[in-house]
C-alpha cells in the first residue's frame, strides 16, 4: 500500500518509544484503505479486513461471526490520529456495511499506548483480550510440584482434556470474547484430538489420579516476514493456548504448580519466552498471569455488535 510506507516507519519509531518489547510495525494487510486528516494537516490511514467465521470455524469460539478488523497506520500521531481514524471508520461503516447482531469491530494495539486507549474507549471499544508475554528464565531443576502430579497428556486422555477445556471455555465466555456455540464441544473435541494425536504439548495436573488442571501449549516461531513477527520479537516462542483448573480446585495452587513445570519444560526446548491471550475482565486470570511473570504487550479492543462503534 503506497500511502503507508512513511506511516509504517513513523509508527515503528513510536512503538519502539512506547515499549521495548514491541517489534517494528508490520506492513498492513490487503483490504479496504481508510484515511483521515488531522487538524494540523497530517494524514493517518488504516486498512479494514472483513472476516466471516461460519459454524465449522474453530475461531467462532472466540470471535463474533462477522468481524471488521482495522489495522491503524497512525505514524507518530498517537491519540489524535486514532480518534480521527475511528471517526472515519464509523462513517465508512454507515456507508458500506449493515452489521448483524453477531458482529464486531476489532483493533489490536500496543497496550502501553495510553493516548490511543483514551480514543478507543471514547469510540465505544472495550479491552476484551490482551497478548501477554514472559521472557524465559532458564534456571536450576525444579522441585516436584507439592500438591499435584503433572504428566504429558496422551490421545487416550481426550475426554478428560475436553472436560477441562470446556470448563475454561464456559468461564471465559462470562468474562471475555469467548462464545459457547451450540457445537462448541464437537469443535473442541476435533481440535484437541488432533493436538493429542500429533504429540502436542499438553499437560495434565492430577490429584489422587484425578485430573484437575490442563495446560495446552504449542511452539511457534517469530521469523522475519511472518505474521507473528508483527506481534512478537524474533525467536522461538512457547504459546499457552489454554490453562484450566476445575472450579472446585481453583485457588489452591494447581495453576501455579502446573505453569512452573510448563515454563521449565518450554525453556528446555529453547524458547526465548512464552505468550498467551488473556481477558482483562477475567478476575482470576488477569491476576494469575501477572503473578506468573507475564505482562501485556498488545490489547485487542472490540465492540460488539459492530454497529455500536461510536
Ligand atoms: C486462572 C486459573 C487457571 C488459575 O489457576 P488456579 O489453580 O486457580 O491458581 P492458583 O491457585 O495456582 O493461584 C491462584 C491463587 O491461589 C493462591 N494459592 C497458591 N497456592 C495455594 C494454596 N496451597 N492454598 C490456597 N491458595 C493458594 C495463589 O497464591 C494465588 O493467589 P495470589 O495470586 O493471591 O497469591 C484458574 O483459576 C481457572 O481455571 N480459572 C477459570 C478459567 C480461566 O480463567 N483460565 C485462564 C484463561 S487465560
Domains and CATH numbers, the chain: 2-133+301-308 (3.40.630), 135-294 (3.40.630.30)
What is the sign, positive or negative, of the torsion defined by CA atoms of 35, 38, 44, 49?
negative
The answer to whether 47 and 11 are in contact (CB under 8 A) is: no
- The protein residue with its alpha carbon nearest to ligand 1, atom 20, reads 253
Pocket mutation for ligand 1, best pick of 242, 256, 275 (most atoms within 8 Å of C-beta): 256
Residues recorded for the chain: 310
Q: Which atom of ligand 1 is nearest to the CA of 259?
A: 12
Q: 258: closest CA among 219, 201, 190?
A: 201
302 φ, ψ (degrees, to nearest 5):
-140, 155
Nearest atom of ligand 1 to the alpha carbon of 277? 48
C-alpha cell belonging to residue 232:
512478537
Closest C-alpha residue for ligand 1 atom 28: 253
Q: In what order do the strands lie in the sheet with 273-278?
A: 32-37, 43-52, 66-73, 103-110, 295-303, 126-135, 273-278, 235-245, 210-222, 201-207, 149-152
Per-residue pLDDT of the chain (310 residues; tens, 9 = 90+): 455 789 999 999 999 999 999 999 999 999 999 999 999 999 999 999 999 999 999 999 999 999 999 999 999 999 999 999 999 999 999 998 889 999 999 999 999 999 999 999 999 999 999 999 999 987 778 888 899 999 999 999 999 999 999 999 999 999 999 999 999 999 999 999 999 999 999 999 999 999 999 999 999 999 998 989 999 999 999 999 999 999 999 999 999 999 999 999 999 999 999 999 999 999 999 999 999 999 999 999 999 999 999 9
Of all helices (H) and strands (E), which one includes residue 85? Answer: helix 78-96
Q: Tell me, in angstroms, the distance from the centre of ligand 1 to residue 245's CA.
A: 8
Yes or no: say if 242 and 214 are a contact pair by the CB < 8 Å rule: yes
Q: Pocket residues for ligand 1 (CB within 6 Å)? A: 168, 171-172, 243-245, 250-256, 278, 282, 284-285, 287-288, 291
| Joined grid coordinates for residue 1 | 500500500
Residues in a beta bridge with 43: 37
Dihedral, CA of residue 182, residue 186, residue 192 and residue 198, to nearest 10: -150
Q: CB under 8 Å to 174, separation ≥6 — which residues?
A: none
> CB–CB of 298/231 below 8 Å?
yes
Q: Which of 106, 117, 129 is nearest to 309 (CA)?
A: 106
Q: Which of 14, 17, 8, 19 is nearest to 44 (CA)?
A: 8
Amino acid at each position: 500500500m503506497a500511502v503507508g510506507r512513511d506511516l509504517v516507519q513513523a509508527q515503528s519509531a513510536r512503538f519502539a518509544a512506547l515499549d521495548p518489547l514491541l517489534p517494528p510495525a508490520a506492513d498492513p494487510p490487503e483490504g479496504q484503505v481508510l484515511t483521515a486528516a488531522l487538524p494540523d494537516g497530517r494524514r493517518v490511514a488504516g486498512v479494514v479486513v472483513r472476516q466471516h467465521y461460519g459454524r465449522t470455524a474453530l475461531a467462532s469460539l472466540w470471535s463474533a461471526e462477522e468481524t471488521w478488523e482495522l489495522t491503524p497506520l497512525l505514524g507518530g500521531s498517537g491519540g489524535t490520529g486514532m480518534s480521527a481514524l475511528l471517526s472515519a471508520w464509523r462513517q465508512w461503516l454507515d456507508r458500506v456495511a449493515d452489521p448483524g447482531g453477531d458482529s464486531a469491530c476489532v483493533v489490536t494495539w500496543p497496550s502501553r499506548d495510553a493516548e490511543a486507549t483514551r480514543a478507543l474507549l471514547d469510540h465505544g471499544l472495550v479491552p476484551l483480550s490482551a497478548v501477554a508475554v514472559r521472557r524465559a528464565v532458564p534456571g536450576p531443576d525444579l522441585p516436584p510440584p507439592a500438591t499435584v502430579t503433572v504428566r504429558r497428556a496422551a490421545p487416550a486422555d481426550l475426554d478428560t482434556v475436553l472436560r477441562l477445556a470446556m470448563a475454561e471455555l464456559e468461564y471465559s465466555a462470562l468474562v471475555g470474547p469467548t462464545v459457547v456455540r451450540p457445537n462448541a464441544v464437537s469443535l473442541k473435541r476435533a481440535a484437541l484430538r488432533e493436538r493429542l494425536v500429533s504429540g502436542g504439548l499438553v499437560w495434565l495436573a492430577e490429584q489422587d489420579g484425578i485430573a484437575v488442571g490442563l495446560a495446552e501449549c504449542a511452539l511457534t516461531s517469530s521469523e522475519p516476514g511472518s505474521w507473528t513477527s508483527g506481534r512478537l520479537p524474533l525467536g522461538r516462542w512457547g504459546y499457552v493456548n489454554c490453562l484450566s483448573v476445575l472450579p472446585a480446585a481453583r485457588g489452591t495452587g494447581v495453576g501455579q504448580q502446573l505453569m512452573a513445570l510448563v515454563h521449565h519444560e518450554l525453556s528446555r526446548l529453547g524458547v526465548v519466552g512464552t505468550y498467551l491471550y488473556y481477558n482483562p475482565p477475567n478476575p482470576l486470570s488477569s491476576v494469575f498471569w501477572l503473578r506468573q511473570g507475564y505482562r501485556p504487550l498488545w490489547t485487542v479492543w472490540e465492540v460488539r455488535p459492530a454497529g455500536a462503534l461510536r
